[in-house]
Amino acid sequence: MNYTDYRQRHFSMRIFTVFLFLMLAVSGIGFSIYLFYISNNIYMYFIAVIFLLLSLISGFFNFSASMLYYRSFFYNTYFKKIAKHTYKLNNNLPTVAIAIPIFNEDIKIVKRTVSNIVKIKYDTKKLKFYMLDDSTKPEKRKELKKLAEDYGFTYLYRKDRRGFKAGALNNFIKYSKEEYIAIFDYDEKLINKNFLLDLLPYFEDKNLSYLQTEKAYFRTGKLFPDSVALFDSFFFNFIEPARALDNTAIFAGSCGLIRRSALDSVGGFPEYVIEDTFFSFESDTHKFRSLYVPKVYALGEPIKTFTALAKQQWRYNYGDTQFLGYFFKRNKAIKSPVSNVDYLTHGFGLNYISLMLILFTIISIFIVFSAVPFESINFYRVLLEGGTVSVYVYLELFGIFALLLSFMGPVIMTKVYFGSIKKGAMVYLLNFALAIVRTKAAIAALLHRNPGISWNRNRDVVINKLAYSILNTKFELSFTALIFVFSLIAYLTKHVGGGVWLMAYGFLYLTTTIFIYKYK
C-alpha cells in the first residue's frame, strides 16, 4: 500500500467513526421523540423530558468526540511542519533534571527504571537525576535511598504526602535549578535513549511550556491488561492530537518535558490528585504553548488487576471532578471557545461515560414500567409495507439502533483501529464495570472526601476470592440485584421485552464483581 492509499484509508476510517458517533446521537434523540409521540399522561411526559435531556447531553458529547476523531487525522501533517522547521541541538546544551516520583513501589521495578534511565544519551555534566520518595514504609525508604546512591540520584524524601505527587514535584523544584525537567513514572522503561536529544530542539520556540510524548505499555498477550491499555491508546491516538491542534494538549504526568521558567511562571504544579491536567490548564491560561509528539519513548507496566484499574479510574475521575470546579472559576482566562470546549469535555469525560450509563439504566426502568405501547416490530412490514406502518414504529427503531450502536461502536472502532473485536467488547464491559466506581469518586470529590478509593485492597485480609469480590462490590451488587428484581417483575407482568432489556443491564453491572473475582 503506497502512502496516498494509506492516508486515504485512514481518512475513510475517520469519516466512518464520525458517522458512528453521529448515528448514536441521532438514534437517542429519535427515540426521545418517540417517547413524546406516545406520551398520554404527566408521568410519561416526565420520562420523555428526562430521556430527551440525557439524549441531548449524550449527543453533544458524541458530536464532540466525533470531531476529535476526525480532526486527529490532520495532526501528523501539522506536526511534520513543526518538526521540519526545528533545528538540531548545538554544543551549548541546556541543563536537565530527570525526576522519578515514588510511593511504596515495587523495588525491582524501580531498579529496572532507574538502571535504564541513567543510560539516556546526553552530556552527563548537564544532567541530574532525582528520586522523589514519598514512601511511608521505612524498609522501602531504606531500599530506595540505597538505590539512589548506587545510581547517582539525588534522593529527596518528604515526611508527609501533602499535595500527593504534585507536592512531591513542588518540593523537588525547590532543590532543582536545571532549565528543563523530564518526569518519568517509577515503572516506565526508556526504550529510546534519544529522548532529550530528540525533544529539546522543539523548545527553540521560547513560548513552549511543555511537551508530551505518547504513553504506552508493555504488551502481555492477555486480554484484560491489553484491553485496559486501549483506554490510553484511544486518548493518545485520537484525543491528544486533536487537542494539540487547539494548543490544549494535556501534559500526562510523565514521559514529557517541561521548561522550568514556564513552570515557575504558573506557580508550580497545582496540588490536586491529577496535577498534570491542572498544570496544562494553567500553562494555557498563562498564554504558553504546548506540543504533543506522537512517538513512544518509554513503556510502562500494564495494569493487570481490576482492583488496580478501579484505583486508577477513581483517581482520574476524582481529579476530573475537581478540575471542573477549577475550570469554571478560571475559564475566563481562556478566550478561545474551542479551548473551553476541550477542557469542558475533558473534565466531564469520565463523568459523562459513567453517569450517563447509570442514568440511562434508571430511566430504562421507568420506561419499562410506564405502560409504553411498544409495537411488535415486524421487519417485513417495515421494509415492504412502508406507509401502512405507524410512525411510532419507525421512531421506536431509533431506540433499538441506539442500544446496538452503544455496544457496536467501541467494538467496531477497536476492530478498525486496533484489529481486535474481543478488546472492543472488553472496553465496553469495563465502562459498565467502572460506572459506579467513577460516579462514587465524583461524589467524593464534590463532598471533599478522601481522594483514596474506599475498597479494601489488602489481599491477605480475605482468603476466599469470591468473598473478597462480594465484600468489595456491595454497592454494585445491590444495584444489580435491584435491576434483576425489576426484570423479574416485568416478566411476571407479561412484559417480556422489558424484562430482557433490564436483565441485560443487570448482567452488565454484574461485571464489576465478575472482573474483580477474575482479575483480582
DSSP conformation letters of 308-325: HHHHHHHHHHHHHHHHHH
Q: Are strands 153-157 and 180-183 parallel, antiparallel or unpaired?
A: unpaired
The pLDDT value recorded for residue 406 is 75
> Taking the CB of residue 330, how many other CB atoms lie within 10 A of it?
15
Residues 257/298, Cβ–Cβ less than 8 Å? no
Buried-exposed string 466-477: b where 16+ CB fall within 10 A, e elsewhere: eebbbebbeebb
CATH 3.40.50.150 corresponds to the domain 88-304? no
Q: State how far the Cα of 226 lies from the Cα of 220, in Å rounded to an integer.
A: 7
Region at 164 (left for phi over 0; alpha for psi -120 to 50; beta for the rest): left
Share of the chain above pLDDT 90, in %: 54
* 325 contacts: CB under 8 Å, gap ≥ 6: none
Q: CA-CA-CA-CA torsion for 304, 310, 312, 314, nearest 10 degrees?
A: 180
- Residue 25: which H helix or E strand, with range? helix 3-38
pLDDT above 50 for 377: no
- Amino acid occupying residue 292: Y
Query: What is the pLDDT confidence band of residue 1, given thresholds at 50, 70 and 90?
Result: low
The confidence score (pLDDT) of residue 5 equals: 61
3-state SS class at 251? coil
- Read off the pLDDT band of 301 (50, 70, 90): very high
> What band does 174 get if pLDDT is binned at 50, 70 and 90?
very high
Q: Which three cell numbers stand for residue 275?
A: 496535577
Query: Which cell goes with 211?
Result: 511537551
Q: How many CB atoms lie within 10 A of CB 292?
A: 25
Alpha carbon distance 501, 154 (integer Å): 59
Q: Is 508 a residue whose pLDDT tops 90?
A: yes
End-to-end CA gap in the chain: 43
- Cα-based distances in Å from 224 to 261, 518, 520: 41, 10, 11
Helix 435-446 to helix 421-433 angle, to the nearest 10 degrees? 40
Domain with CATH 3.90.550.10 in the chain: 88-304
